[in-house]
Amino acid sequence: MAEMNRKIVYLATSMDGFIARKNGDIDWLEEDPSYDYYQEFIKNVGAILMGAATYEKVLSFGIGWPYPQQMSYVFTHKKYHKDENNIKFVNQDVSSFMKELQAITTDDVWVMGGSNLIDQFLKERLVDEIIVGIQPIILGEGIPLFTVQDEIKLELTRVTSYERGTVQVHYNIIG
């Protein structure tokens, strides 16, 4: 069995730890032309994992599927239309899915979200690295980045600040 590369949670959060407003909106996220880390990150990603709400949010942008080079897996209990070329719908637990995925790719895996899916991966210790872009905004309420109840120790590996106030932090999971 091939050894999989990094399994990464990569996302943006408000200063107070929310990944979206209560209604799922991410209108507060601003692109900062001074950072190019996304292009560097995505070129090593072979698989993107997301929940159904994240999938629906991406579709709502009306720009077509933004990840044509990567295989995307949508974790859902709902019945969607059939799988597409690079989008497959998954209805199984994250541990058994990752065993299957590890057999077919050694590229990095991006655990995109939402928070429920991220928590499942963290609980099963299926994440190697967490990269968070902290946006310079306090939302006051919303969908939290983490709701996992387990203690997870992290090791800070890098911090980068950008022109418009975003700070990106990289952590490795310890143990």
Residue 20 forms beta bridges with which residues? 143
Peptide bond into 114 cis (omega under 30): yes
Parallel, antiparallel, or unpaired: how do β-strands 7-14 and 108-113 relate? parallel
Model pLDDT, residue 34: 55
Separation CA 111–CA 121 (nearest Å): 8
Please say if the pLDDT value at position 152 is more than 60.
Answer: yes
Model pLDDT, residue 4: 59
All domains of the chain in start order, with CATH: 7-173 (3.40.430.10)
Number of residues written out for the chain: 175
Please say if the pLDDT value at position 149 is more than 90.
Answer: no
Beta strands in 24-68 (DSSP E): 45-51
Q: Can you count the helices (H) and strands (E) in the chain?
A: 4, 10
pLDDT tens, residue by residue, 88-147 = 999 999 999 999 998 888 899 999 988 899 999 999 999 999 999 999 999 999 999 998
